[in-house]
Amino acid sequence: MKLTYVLDACAMFAVLSKEEGWEKVAEIYKKAALGEINLYIHRLNLLEVYYGLLREYGKERADGFVADIKQSPIVVNREISDEIFLEAGRLKATYKISLADSIALAQAIVSGGSLLTSDHHEFDVIEGKEDINFVWVR
């Protein structure tokens, strides 16, 4: 069975901006391209990246990013299944994290995967309290 990773927006921004730890995300991306692992991002987390790029660099770069994702080995989850819905709601209520972060975390939990993130602000309080493996970019 292949390992599964779920990207949050912070992990994507790390690669796009070549922030500290971006190589870790790039290595996981390469493994996904080779078919060695499963790599997911939820559409809501992709939206966070899109509007960040739109604000910072404009429509052309933001649209180009979305086009690149469509051609990449990253699977975009476009639905909020009942399992993700309920889990995200529980996580948001329990830890008071952002909606998008609750979706990314719920997707990782439901899929049995690891969350690839650098968002210590949101997730440090959760690590060790939930059955989830965090892969910290930095």
Which pTM was predicted? 0.95
CA angle 64, 39, 94 (to 5 degrees): 100
- Summarize pLDDT for 71-130 with one digit per residue, the tens: 999 999 999 999 999 999 999 999 999 999 999 999 999 999 999 999 999 999 999 999
CATH code of the domain made up of 3-136? 3.40.50.1010
- By DSSP bridging, strand 75-77 and strand 133-136 are unpaired
Helix/strand/coil percentages in the chain, nearest 5: 55, 15, 30
| Cβ neighbours of 131 (radius 10 Å) | 6
Domain boundaries, the chain: 3-136
- Summarize pLDDT for 14-56 with one digit per residue, the tens: 999 999 999 999 999 999 999 999 999 999 999 999 999 999 9
| Cβ neighbours of 37 (radius 10 Å) | 18
